[in-house]
Amino acid sequence: MAESTKTATLNIDGSTYELPVFSPTAGPDVIDIRKLYAQAGVFTYDPGFTSTASCDSTITYIDGDKGELLHRGYPIDQLASQSHYLEVCYLLLYGELPSAAKLEDFETRITRHTMVHEQMHYFFRGFRRDAHPMATLVGVVGAMSAFYHDSTDVSDDWQREVAAIRLIAKLPTIAAMAYKYSIGQPFVYPRNDLDYASNFLNMCFSVPAEEYHVNPILSRAMDRIFILHADHEQNASTSTVRLASSSGANPFACIAAGIACLWGPAHGGANQACLEMLREIGTVDRIPEYIARAKDKNDPFRLMGFGHRVYKNTDPRATVLKESADEVLELLGVEDNPLLQVAKELEQVALNDPYFIEKKLFPNVDFYSGIILEAMGFPTSMFTPIFALSRTVGWISQWKEMIADPQNKIGRPRQLYLGETARNYVDIEKR
Ligand code: SDX
């Protein structure tokens, strides 16, 4: 915990309270209100947590004004261009870039945990074929606590480490199985001779009937998408994982809770919602109609893939993804993809519209990731599962940090109660 260097003074009804202020290594100071209720008998009020720090952390830093994203201090654009996903996983989990020997050991441990318990194949059979892959993912990941009992005790260091490795290793296998199940194709086993991204593409797109060769440009783009979605400070799904974990729940149940939260269209579900929106717009000449709807206070419609709670200039991940989108679409010879034309025109119109400039709304990570995944052949229903498998390392890293924090206690917010005060029961005859 940082040292308090100054205090904030709060005056309520003639009483004065001194609250410690902590200064971070980067970002805004925080006012420590942990003793406020005991001292002043008041709560703070912050629905949506727009001004609330829920924890201290050393994993990821975001500067919303500068459009900066650091993982353990390393800028996301450097990691996306010079690193690869499993090395970023190591960095997020252990805090430092690995030596060659440590990286090889880590990658070997992940590779050797990519298969799932064979009995889980039967677990899938209980789902309808048309189940959304996110529904399957939530169910199967939660069920991992029924298959891997030897890594559910969060008080045991070794079990926590094994659960972390198992989750990072098996999420791609489970996500690929959810996809194969939804299209009626047989499950494809992971292969130890393929890198993480190539393995995922092979499990999704290969079939027993013929050889499948992973295109290195596509696996590089896949790996980059994994990196860009790996962690993002205390976003809604990470906060869900932290809150679930604060009760001591096992890691598989907590990650399943994070997956459930990520599914929402305001969060990780935005990549699917964005592609569906582009498809609904259909042609460039219909963009003004949708821009008008996004600005209409009486219309709940929002431009999916635009805006962010923290970034108020650019989402640095979208900048990197935009480059990848051009590479992948050129490789696939679909640079004139009508969806991409609508996306590029929509981006230009929105970025020059006074409403979006004033509200600081611009393309976020979900805007371009959907276009790349669509071009790679994934159905929109697989976009959020891919986000979930990428973010698993972030959830796990934040979970490990929280469990190890001596201040860790069960999260239990209070409320501003506006309901009825105490009143007596009325018999039905008298109502
Ligand atoms: C992710 O938190 C994270 O880090 C998330 C994430 C991660 O990596 O974990 O980055 C991943 O979730 C990215 C965001 C994906 N969601 C979308 O693309 C859905 C569309 N975006 C909006 O739903 C919205 O921008 C949010 C949810 C992303 C952010 O919402 P905020 O910060 O709570 O802002 P707000 O809803 O209060 O909106 C502020 C104003 C409002 O107008 P006023 O009430 O002030 O007049 O901006 C408007 C909103 O109406 N607005 C939009 C808009 N987003 C906000 N108007 C039109 N289209 C939009 N997309």
Task: Encode pLDDT of 213-268 as tens digits.
Answer: 999 989 999 999 999 999 999 999 999 999 999 999 999 999 999 999 999 999 99
Catalytic site residue 308? Answer: yes
Residue from 232, 178, 91, 187 nearest 384 by CA: 178
Nearest CA to ligand 1 atom 30: 309
Catalytic annotation, pick one of 223, 231, 315, 366? 366
The protein residue whose alpha carbon is closest to atom 31 in ligand 1 is 309
Q: Which of 309, 319, 390 to mutate to test the pocket of ligand 1 (most atoms within 8 A of CB)?
A: 309
pLDDT at 407: 86
342-370 pLDDT tens trace = 988 998 988 898 999 998 888 888 888 98
Q: What is the pLDDT of residue 1?
A: 66
pTM: predicted TM-score of the whole model, two decimal places: 0.93
Residue-by-residue pLDDT tens, the chain, 431 positions: 677 889 999 999 999 999 999 999 999 999 999 999 999 999 999 999 999 999 999 999 999 999 999 999 999 999 999 999 999 999 999 999 999 999 999 999 999 999 999 999 999 999 999 999 999 999 999 999 999 989 999 889 999 999 999 999 999 999 999 999 999 999 999 999 999 999 999 999 999 999 999 999 899 999 999 999 999 999 999 999 999 999 999 999 999 999 999 999 999 999 989 999 999 999 999 999 999 999 999 999 999 999 998 898 889 999 889 888 888 888 887 767 788 889 889 989 888 989 999 988 888 888 889 889 988 999 999 999 999 999 999 999 999 999 999 888 999 999 999 999 999 999 999 99
SS3 readout for 187-253: CCCCCCCCCHHHHHHHHHHCECCECCCCCHHHHHHHHHHHHHCCCCCCCHHHHHHHHHHCCCCCHHH
User: By alpha-carbon position, which residue is closest to atom 8 of ligand 1?
Assistant: 232
Q: What is the pLDDT of residue 340?
A: 81
122-157 in b/e burial notation, b at 16+ Cβ within 10 A? ebbeebeeebbbbbbbbbbbbbbbebbeebbebeee
Per-residue pLDDT at 339: 83
- CA 185 – ligand 1 centroid, Å: 37
- For ligand 1, the distance from its centroid to the CA atom of residue 303, given in whole angstroms, is 9
Taking phi over 0 as left and psi of -120 to 50 as alpha, with beta for the rest, 360 belongs to left
Task: Measure 373 CA to ligand 1 centroid, in angstroms.
Answer: 22
Atom of ligand 1 nearest to the CA of 236: 2
Are 226 and 137 in contact by the 8 Å Cβ rule? The answer is: no
Q: Which residue lies with its CA nearest to atom 34 of ligand 1? A: 309
Residues having CB within 6 Å of any atom of ligand 1: 232, 235, 266-268, 270, 294, 302-309, 359, 361, 364-366
Set 308, 315, 336, 405: catalytic member: 308
Helix (H, G, I), strand (E, B) or coil at 389: helix
Q: Residue 329: its pLDDT value, please? A: 82
pLDDT in tens, 155-175: 899 999 999 999 999 999 999
Nearest CA residue ID for atom 4, ligand 1:
235
**Rounded to the nearest whole angstrom, what is the distance from the C-alpha of residue 358 to the centroid of ligand 1?**
14
- Residue 73 CA to ligand 1 center (angstroms) comes to 26
* pLDDT confidence of residue 344: 85
Ligand 1 midpoint to CA 308 (Å) = 5
- CA separation for the pair 156, 2 (Å, rounded): 27
Judge contact between 115 and 173, C-beta under 8 A: yes
Quote the pLDDT of residue 49. 95
By most ligand atoms within 8 Å of CB, the mutation choice from 61, 267, 277, 281 for ligand 1 is: 267
- Ligand 1 atom nearest to CA at 229: 8
Q: Indicate the residue type of 391.
A: R
> Active-site residue 366, yes or no?
yes
